[in-house]
């Protein structure tokens, strides 16, 4: 749903005899700098692909500006050997515990605060396929019973501390104790066809859906955690003993998560829970000019930009030397809610699909779009795109501002719109005249 229009209607020309002499060879040329009318509006994004990516998301937080964000992860457990328990007397097997371990992403392990959260784990009740693409709005079919051990779901994430298990210190991970009922179910499958091979095990246990239940979460509480499910530490481990054979000996069996496992994140956004009404107003107002626009990952929000007066500048008497889009941040931000490291610009092709601007395809760094913390701004060189608009190669339908790493991070940003009273969004066009 498109919404919240912003506009800036100043057009000025500023001659500068020295500016731009390094842009074109030959004799000194006159230079004209124009700023044109921009219109911008925020709209709710569609879902994004989250399957098979470098991180999966889990957790929730309440952002005063964007509302609540929640993420759950879905994955398969794999078997670790064929014919587990064959030729073993299983009558004396006793389950001690079953623990789900999710390894934190070691590079970027979360967004927000690391307050305690209440985690829930459910058994998936549908066949998951590696050949399928799963998106952020794809809720899995699952059984209603929470498989977390009673009273053990409230956990404080510690992504900077190694997990201590017995005498060992392991990689930082979230460890969720699962129910003894599930542990016994796994143990009772020893020596049966359910653990004969990978296909049999995935029929026996199709996967898990891990989510949170953080009722009453307050602004700035909680966060979205990032996990590397292909790390060796990501697995479920069954701890058990054999009363018929060394009954005091603790044994364990891993059910790993790896690159052969389906893994994806499902995400929910609720802007209505924001304490600042600006974002919600932007999503519901398609007419009023706004001073702020919004961009959010995980299918949250995009900003569309239109340039209705651009073609008025088309002229045979001057040549476009540079087109720079400048996107300043709209005010300050909470330190644990940093802006995306990079923004992208997309136009629509004839089918309505997102495609990069030609400047993006010109090589690394050609278009820029990286966040500049010292200036609190994003800058884009979109000269090729604007030139193709001026010469009629592209239709002047505008472009959209999209966050980078949209499926693996929870970042968001508020930008000054074209109607901002100070430091507005603007497109600076430099022409050489002859």
- The domains of the chain are located at 2-48+271-433, 56-261
Provide the pLDDT confidence category of residue 194 given band limits of 50, 70 and 90: very high
Query: Judging by DSSP bridges, how do beta strands 168-170 and 301-306 pair with one another?
Result: unpaired
Provide the pLDDT confidence category of residue 19 given band limits of 50, 70 and 90: very low
Please give the Cα distance from 41 to 3 (Å, whole number). Answer: 5
Provide the pLDDT confidence category of residue 3 given band limits of 50, 70 and 90: very low
Listed residue (86, 81, 88) closest to 245, CA to CA: 88
**Of 77-81, 118-122, 245-249, 267-271, which range is least confident?**
77-81
Please give the Cα distance from 117 to 120 (Å, whole number). Answer: 10
pLDDT exceeds 50 at position 180 = yes
Roughly how many angstroms between the first and final C-alpha of the chain, as a whole number? 45
Q: Average pLDDT, stretch 227-237?
A: 97
Q: Is 44 helix (H, G, I), strand (E, B) or coil?
A: strand
User: Do residues 412 and 337 make contact, with C-beta atoms less than 8 angstroms apart?
Assistant: yes
Provide the pLDDT confidence category of residue 22 given band limits of 50, 70 and 90: very low
User: Do residues 269 and 289 make contact, with C-beta atoms less than 8 angstroms apart?
Assistant: no
Listed residue (230, 233, 238) closest to 186, CA to CA: 238
Please give the Cα distance from 372 to 295 (Å, whole number). Answer: 16
pLDDT exceeds 90 at position 90 = no
pLDDT exceeds 90 at position 178 = yes
pLDDT exceeds 50 at position 9 = no
Q: Please report, rounded to a whole number, the percentage of residues in the chain having pLDDT higher than 70.
A: 92
Q: Average pLDDT, stretch 242-257?
A: 94
Dump pLDDT digits (tens) for 256-311.
Answer: 999 999 999 999 999 999 999 999 999 988 677 779 999 999 999 999 999 999 99
Dump pLDDT digits (tens) for 369-389.
Answer: 999 999 999 999 999 999 999
pTM recorded for the entire structure = 0.90
- Token pair recorded at residue 258: 């790896």
Residue 144 burial (CB < 10 Å; 0-12/13-18/19+)? exposed
Neighbours of 376 (CB within 10 A): 16
Listed residue (423, 428, 420, 430) closest to 8, CA to CA: 420
pLDDT exceeds 60 at position 16 = no
Torsion sign across C-alpha atoms 58, 229, 134, 176: negative
Tell me the pLDDT of the chain averaged across its residues.
90
In this predicted model, which residue has the larger pLDDT, 326 or 361? 326
167 Cβ neighbours under 8 A, 6+ residues apart = none
């Amino acid at each position: 749903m498109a919404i919240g229009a912003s506009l800036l209607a100043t057009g000025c020309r500023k001659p500068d005899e020295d500016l731009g002499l390094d842009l074109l060879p030959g004799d000194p040329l006159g230079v004209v700098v124009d700023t044109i009318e921009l219109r911008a509006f925020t709209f709710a994004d569609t879902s994004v692909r989250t399957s098979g990516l470098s991180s999966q998301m889990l957790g929730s937080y309440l952002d005063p500006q964007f509302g609540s964000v929640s993420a759950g992860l879905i994955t398969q457990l794999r078997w670790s050997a064929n014919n587990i328990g064959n030729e073993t007397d299983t009558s004396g097997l006793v389950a001690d515990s079953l623990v789900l371990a999710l390894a934190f992403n070691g590079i970027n392990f979360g967004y927000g605060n690391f307050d305690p959260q209440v985690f829930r784990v459910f058994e998936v009740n549908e066949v998951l396929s590696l050949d399928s693409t799963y998106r952020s709005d794809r809720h899995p079919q699952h059984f209603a019973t929470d498989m977390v051990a009673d009273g053990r779901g409230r956990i404080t994430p510690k992504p900077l501390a190694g997990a201590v298990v017995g005498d060992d210190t392991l990689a930082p991970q979230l460890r969720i104790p699962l129910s003894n009922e599930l542990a016994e179910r796994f143990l009772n499958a020893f020596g049966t066809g359910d653990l004969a091979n990978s296909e049999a095990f995935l029929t026996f246990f199709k996967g898990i859906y891990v989510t949170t239940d953080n009722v009453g979460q307050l602004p700035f509480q909680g966060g979205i955690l990032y996990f590397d499910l292909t790390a060796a530490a990501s697995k479920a481990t069954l701890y058990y003993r054999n009363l018929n054979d060394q009954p005091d000996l603790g044994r364990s069996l891993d059910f790993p998560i790896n690159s052969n496992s389906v893994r994806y994140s499902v995400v929910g956004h609720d802007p209505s829970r924001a304490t600042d009404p600006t974002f919600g107003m932007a999503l519901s107002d398609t007419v009023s000019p706004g001073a702020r626009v919004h961009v959010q990952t995980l299918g949250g929000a995009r900003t569309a930009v239109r340039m209705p007066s651009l073609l008025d500048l088309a002229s045979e008497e001057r040549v476009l030397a540079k087109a720079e889009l400048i996107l300043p941040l709209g005010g300050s931000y909470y330190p644990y809610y940093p802006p995306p490291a990079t923004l992208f610009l997309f136009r629509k092709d004839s089918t309505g699909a997102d495609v990069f601007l030609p400047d993006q395809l010109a090589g690394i760094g050609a278009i820029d779009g990286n966040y500049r913390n010292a200036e609190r701004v994003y800058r884009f060189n979109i000269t090729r795109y604007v030139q193709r608009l001026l010469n009629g190669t592209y239709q002047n339908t505008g472009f959209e501002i999209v966050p980078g790493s949209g499926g693996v991070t929870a970042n968001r940003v508020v930008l000054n719109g074209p109607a901002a009273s100070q430091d507005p969004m603007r497109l600076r066009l430099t022409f050489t005249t002859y």
